[in-house]
Amino acid sequence: MVSRVIPVDPFDLVVFGGTGDLARRKILPGLFRRFCAGQMPAEAQIIAAARSEMDAEGYRKMVRDAINEFDGQRPDECPELENFLSRLNYVQVDAQGDGGWQELKEMLRKDTVKAFYFSVAPSLFGDIAERLKNKGLAKRDARIVVEKPFGRDLASAQALNKSLAAYFNEDQIYRIDHYLGKETVQNLMAVRFGNMLFEPLWNSQYIDHIQITVAETVGVGGRGGYYDKSGAMRDMVQNHLMQLLCLIAMEPPSRFEPGAVRDEKLKVIRALEPVEPHHIARGQYDAGAGEAGYREHAEDPRSRTESFIALKCHISNWRWAGTPIYLRTGKRLKARTSEIAVVFKETPHSIFDEDAGRHRNILTIRLQPNEGMELGVTIKEPGPGGMRLVDVPLDMSFSDALGPDADEVPDAYERLIMDVIRGNQTLFMRGDEVEAAWAWTDPIIQGWETRNEVPKLYDPMSSGPEDALMLMHRDGRKWREIKA
């Protein structure tokens, strides 16, 4: 049932930071899977660029180990590992120096798509962009791919955009948010805009509220010092949750193409109202369940950075006036799960006795685990017990719907890299979107900094702090249970 794989054009993909964690865990194993699926052509070339001294053989060994470790594809499923490795090359380059660039230029071939993946710290983006352009490696049709975090506030995002725009046009810049590469996220658009069923109901007249939850069981562990400089708002809400919110709330674009989709997403972000302080709950996980607490992980006993945040948002436009959207994300929560729940209103009048209970439809879009969608519908409880109502799920998990082919669905990074090679920017963030998201985020963060707010402690493996529950209870609503 998985659609036919169409190979992309031959390409030269340069991965700056090709020896780093992201490249070894995600990018290279993902490319290997695309190679095995027949989507990455045999003529493709991947060049890793970093400062470490290494030759192509050394790099191939590093990638072989990485693929074995990070579940790229079991060798018995794809005997092509050596073939794939032979497509890899390595060049020693310092992003901030002059050495290595000429060698890199000589490795690039004529008449292939050129893509440069910046899998390095954002502080190096400008240096690499400048050298690519000034040393004649990137022509008008070259693409650059940049990773998160894209800034830590509006000013730094604007500075980053400016440093890239000095050398590349917007249609060459691919800002990755890997949530947009997930199968279900794209299915969300297919369900909304490919069916007559949902769109007429997709507004405040029929939808009571929407909940978006991204919960993790892990803490910040060894990344505590790094994480403490950002926190859940910057690390998750400003980008991933915001992108999900845009897709769920945007108007139908005129076409499924980059400009039209991104225009509609931008309108959603710009229509977001400022968030009232009492509509925000922040938390830090406490010690327990065999692990230290957040502050110990962050190595700062006075840290005020949140490892959990829940907030209530409003979009001020005709479609959504009066329908709140609740966002929630955190670490050390009771299950690892990401989902969007669209909670419809109750029927305006019930023809059934009070015994029948109160019911409402909920459309759940699961991003992990077990990607899929579920629509809760109300039916009569079977049996002779009179007219009692019960909610049952119409479940479409991809593994059930697609059978054994479900494993063939590419993961987010694989899909996004192939989109870069195809030159399709639909699933990437545009510069103005990122800036608009920071423009909404900045005052919220500044607010709690000004008020010296300290996040509340919450128990590890719980649903987060009590304040988050109250945020919903005050409105007569409740969060969906966090469960895998």
Ligand X SMILES: NC(=O)c1ccc[n+]([C@@H]2O[C@H](COP(=O)([O-])OP(=O)(O)OC[C@H]3O[C@@H](n4cnc5c(N)ncnc54)[C@H](OP(=O)(O)O)[C@@H]3O)[C@@H](O)[C@H]2O)c1
Catalytic residues: 240
Does position 96 interact with ligand X (CB under 6 A)? The reply is: yes
Select the residue interacting with ligand X from 31, 46, 67, 93 (CB under 6 A). 93
Does position 173 interact with ligand X (CB under 6 A)? The reply is: no
Does position 181 interact with ligand X (CB under 6 A)? The reply is: no
Beta-strand ranges (E) seen in 51-147 are 88-92, 113-118, 143-146
Whether omega before 465 lies within 30 degrees of 0, making that bond cis, reads: no
Does position 95 interact with ligand X (CB under 6 A)? The reply is: yes
Binding residues for ligand X restricted to 132-161, rule: CB under 6 A: 147-149
Those residues whose C-beta lies under 8 Å from the C-beta of residue 123, and which sit 6 or more positions away, are none
Read off the amino acid at residue 278. H
d(Cα 289, Cα 287) in Å, to the nearest integer? 7
Segment contacting ligand X (CB under 6 A): 44-52, 245-253, 421-429, 451-459? Answer: 44-52
With CB under 6 A as the rule, give the number of residues binding ligand X: 22
The pair of three-digit structure tokens given for residue 184, joined into one six-digit string? 């279900």
Rounded least distance, CB 54 to ligand X, Å? 8
Select the residue interacting with ligand X from 19, 184, 364, 441 (CB under 6 A). 19
Q: What are 42's strand-pairing partners?
A: none
**CB nearer to ligand X: pick between 173 and 362:** 173
Read off the amino acid at residue 342. V
d(Cα 18, Cα 36) in Å, to the nearest integer? 20
Q: What are 90's strand-pairing partners?
A: 48
**CB nearer to ligand X: pick between 128 and 468:** 128
What DSSP string runs through 149-204? P--SSHHHHHHHHHHHHTTS-GGGEEE--GGGGSHHHHHHHHHHHH-TTTGGG-ST
Does position 22 interact with ligand X (CB under 6 A)? The reply is: yes
The distance of Cα 89 from the centroid of its chain, to the nearest Å, equals 29
Contact 346, 358 (CB under 8 A): yes
How does strand 207-215 pair with strand 325-330?
parallel
d(Cα 346, Cα 343) in Å, to the nearest integer? 9
**CB nearer to ligand X: pick between 24 and 359:** 24
**CB nearer to ligand X: pick between 19 and 462:** 19
Does position 27 interact with ligand X (CB under 6 A)? The reply is: no
Select the residue interacting with ligand X from 2, 10, 37, 51 (CB under 6 A). 51
d(Cα 355, Cα 345) in Å, to the nearest integer? 19
Does position 230 interact with ligand X (CB under 6 A)? The reply is: no
Rounded least distance, CB 135 to ligand X, Å? 14
Select the residue interacting with ligand X from 20, 252, 357, 447 (CB under 6 A). 20
**CB nearer to ligand X: pick between 91 and 436:** 91
Rounded least distance, CB 149 to ligand X, Å? 6
Minimal CB distance residue for ligand X: 20
Rounded least distance, CB 218 to ligand X, Å? 12
d(Cα 46, Cα 82) in Å, to the nearest integer? 14
Does position 89 interact with ligand X (CB under 6 A)? The reply is: no
**CB nearer to ligand X: pick between 51 and 345:** 51
Q: How many residues does the chain have?
A: 484
Give the residues lining the site for ligand X (CB under 6 A).
16-17, 19-23, 50-52, 93-96, 119-122, 124, 147-149
